Amino acid sequence: MWENPKSLGLLPRIEIPNRSLEIFRFLLGALIAYDLIVHFSDLSLLYTDQGIFPRALAIPSVTKLWWSIYFLAGSFLSVAILYSIHLILALCFMAGVGLPWVTIALWAFQFSLRNRNVSIMDGSDDLSIVLLFFAVFLPLTPKLQDAKSYFRKWITQPMWHVAFIVQILCLYSFSALQKSDASWNSVFNAISLTLRLDILVNPVGKWLLHFPIFLKVMTASVYWLELAGPMVYLAALFFPHSSKNRWPIRVRQTVCVLFILFHLGLSLTMRLGMFPYLCIIAWVTLFPRLEPEPEPEEEPGQETSLAWRASWIPSLIVSLGVFITVVMMNVRAAVPSFKLPTAVQKIGQTLSLHQNWGMFAPYPALDNYFVLPEGHFSDGTRRPIDSQTFWLQNRHRVKFWLNMDLKRRDFLTGYTRYWCRQYSSIKIPKPLLERVTVTSFHHVAYKDRAGERDYADVLWNQSCK
């Protein structure tokens, strides 16, 4: 166990190249910064006490293990200051400045922003936080790759590379295991069902509905790629390669390319926020090089010194703990009857290592969804006070609109009270807004399934008095 890790035969195949890690850092930082800039116009609506989810509702909505720096701010100015710091940290991370401290701070801010408003969180938020967590323990800059770096004894631990690779592979394998419905694994019409959901689909996706045979082929391909692709990639790691035997590298490269193309297809056909792009960044990072990178020079006798050997123990313990947590939480998501140990559950919640990747499992949603918020005024009139079109303009708004149908009291209370405040702040003569009702209308997009029918449901009725 005290052997120099550079001499282990498997390590060169599981260790992510330094150049790939630098690309990972740049692309992840750029994507997070872009996402923050895009959503800056929604600060008042989504993150202040004057918006749809004030702190009085937000703080009780999260568990004790979910903290948030953004809980310290309620006004637009204070939230904007924190948000600006968040953006600066993302830009510093992208440029490789101040790592790993900047990485830790960015992870904390990303985690905090997610917890500030759980009504809009989606898979993009979860995955970005998970990737940033692993980024803390990987050598993302030449300075951290230097053998003399203080942090090198932590970030050269091979188990962190193993844990990162396993995290990405689990995302797909356990997602496929959750897709147990016939629409995925025998009838192969899951993609066709998904592309009928107006709230998520782009024009390109609608156009593809004219090619049902192609969509069946793609459904089968996606299912088997998610199920078998990660296992093929993992198996190829155990086969040595050389200049005359490069097929293991070619196999891993092929798997990476297939997953990148898969996510490009998702981004072209559906509104899934930055989730497909985060996955593309992960697979670009795992794309293996044909020629190994030159190893950094070690100090003479470093790999045999007792201090060098002992420095690996804490990092090995922590990385093994994270590895076990990731695997067990994925098993829990795929097998609901599996009882997750309390310690693992608390670690996962505290570090935000959420592992539920089954968005379209066990089968896609079968109905289109439309929400109608209506105001009841003092003059006896009743009219819509909000437009669904507004809420389909970015991923946070889309997710909130979808979450309305969960009938969560805090989500609906915050939203309807927001409209009561908006109308009460208007100073011109007007009929008073007395009550707000929110009704959802479901139109079944695929009626061949037994028991499915169109229906309407009153989600909430809020008095403004």
What gap in Å lies between CA 276 and CA 279, rounded to an integer?
5
Clarify whether residues 448 and 338 are in a common domain: no
What gap in Å lies between CA 30 and CA 178, rounded to an integer?
32
Residue 165: inside a domain: yes
| Single residue among 320, 351, 382 that ends a domain in this structure | 351
Provide the pLDDT for residue 318.
83
Tokens standing for residue 230: 């990660």
What gap in Å lies between CA 171 and CA 121, rounded to an integer?
18
Clarify whether residues 371 and 345 are in a common domain: no
> How buried is residue 294: exposed, middle or buried, by Cβ count under 10 Å (0-12/13-18/19+)?
exposed
Question: What total number of domains does the chain contain?
Answer: 2
- If one compares 30 and 3, the residue with the highest pLDDT of the two is 30
Where is mean pLDDT largest: 229-233, 448-452, 456-460? 229-233
Confidence of residue 307 (pLDDT cuts 50, 70, 90): low
Which of helix, strand or coil describes residue 213?
helix
Clarify whether residues 423 and 324 are in a common domain: no
Q: Is pLDDT at 450 greater than 70 in this prediction?
A: no
Provide the pLDDT for residue 392.
85
Residue 356: inside a domain: no
Residue 92: inside a domain: yes
- Render pLDDT for 258-275 as a digit per residue (tens, 0 to 9): 999 999 999 999 999 999
CB atoms under 10 Å from CB of 424, counted, come to 11
Residue 296: inside a domain: yes
Task: Compute the average pLDDT of residues 28-48.
Answer: 96
Task: Compute the average pLDDT of residues 199-225.
Answer: 94
- Render pLDDT for 281-290 as a digit per residue (tens, 0 to 9): 999 999 998 7
Q: Is pLDDT at 8 greater than 50 in this prediction?
A: no
Residue 98: inside a domain: yes
| Single residue among 351, 381, 407 that ends a domain in this structure | 351
Clarify whether residues 323 and 389 are in a common domain: no
Q: Which parts of 258-377 are beta strand (E)?
A: 367-377
What gap in Å lies between CA 246 and CA 239, rounded to an integer?
10
Q: Is pLDDT at 21 greater than 50 in this prediction?
A: yes
Please compute, for residue 254, the number of CA atoms within 13 A of its CA located in the half-sphere on the CB side: 12
Q: Is pLDDT at 312 greater than 50 in this prediction?
A: yes
Q: Is pLDDT at 7 greater than 50 in this prediction?
A: no
Task: Compute the average pLDDT of residues 331-359.
Answer: 87
Clarify whether residues 31 and 95 are in a common domain: yes
Task: Compute the average pLDDT of residues 223-236.
Answer: 95
- Render pLDDT for 401-448 as a digit per residue (tens, 0 to 9): 988 888 899 999 999 999 999 988 876 667 889 999 999 988 876 645
Q: Residue 191: enclosing H or E segment and its boundaries? A: helix 190-194
Provide the pLDDT for residue 120.
93
Q: Is pLDDT at 150 greater than 60 in this prediction?
A: no
Provide the pLDDT for residue 389.
86
Which of helix, strand or coil describes residue 460?
strand
Residue 359: inside a domain: no
Q: Is pLDDT at 101 greater than 70 in this prediction?
A: yes
Residue 362: inside a domain: no
Clarify whether residues 315 and 446 are in a common domain: no
One-letter amino acid identity for 127?
L
Provide the pLDDT for residue 216.
95
What gap in Å lies between CA 323 and CA 353, rounded to an integer?
11
Clarify whether residues 323 and 184 are in a common domain: yes
- If one compares 10 and 460, the residue with the highest pLDDT of the two is 460
Give the residue numbers spanning the domain of 131: 5-351
Clarify whether residues 108 and 227 are in a common domain: yes
Provide the pLDDT for residue 157.
65
Residue 360: inside a domain: no
- pLDDT above 70 covers a percentage of the chain that reads 86
Clarify whether residues 316 and 427 are in a common domain: no
What gap in Å lies between CA 100 and CA 152, rounded to an integer?
11
What gap in Å lies between CA 358 and CA 179, rounded to an integer?
8
| Single residue among 287, 321, 351 that ends a domain in this structure | 351
Provide the pLDDT for residue 291.
67
Provide the pLDDT for residue 465.
82
Q: Which residues pair with 201 in a beta bridge?
A: 270
Q: Cα 236 vs. chain centroid, distance in angstroms? A: 27
Clarify whether residues 78 and 168 are in a common domain: yes
Clarify whether residues 337 and 199 are in a common domain: yes
Cβ pair 160, 138 in contact under 8 A: yes
Q: Is pLDDT at 6 greater than 50 in this prediction?
A: no
Task: Compute the average pLDDT of residues 348-364.
Answer: 86
One-letter amino acid identity for 317?
I
Cβ pair 70, 113 in contact under 8 A: yes
Provide the pLDDT for residue 310.
55
Clarify whether residues 341 and 371 are in a common domain: no
Task: Compute the average pLDDT of residues 323-346.
Answer: 89
Work out the mean pLDDT of the chain and round it to a whole number. 86
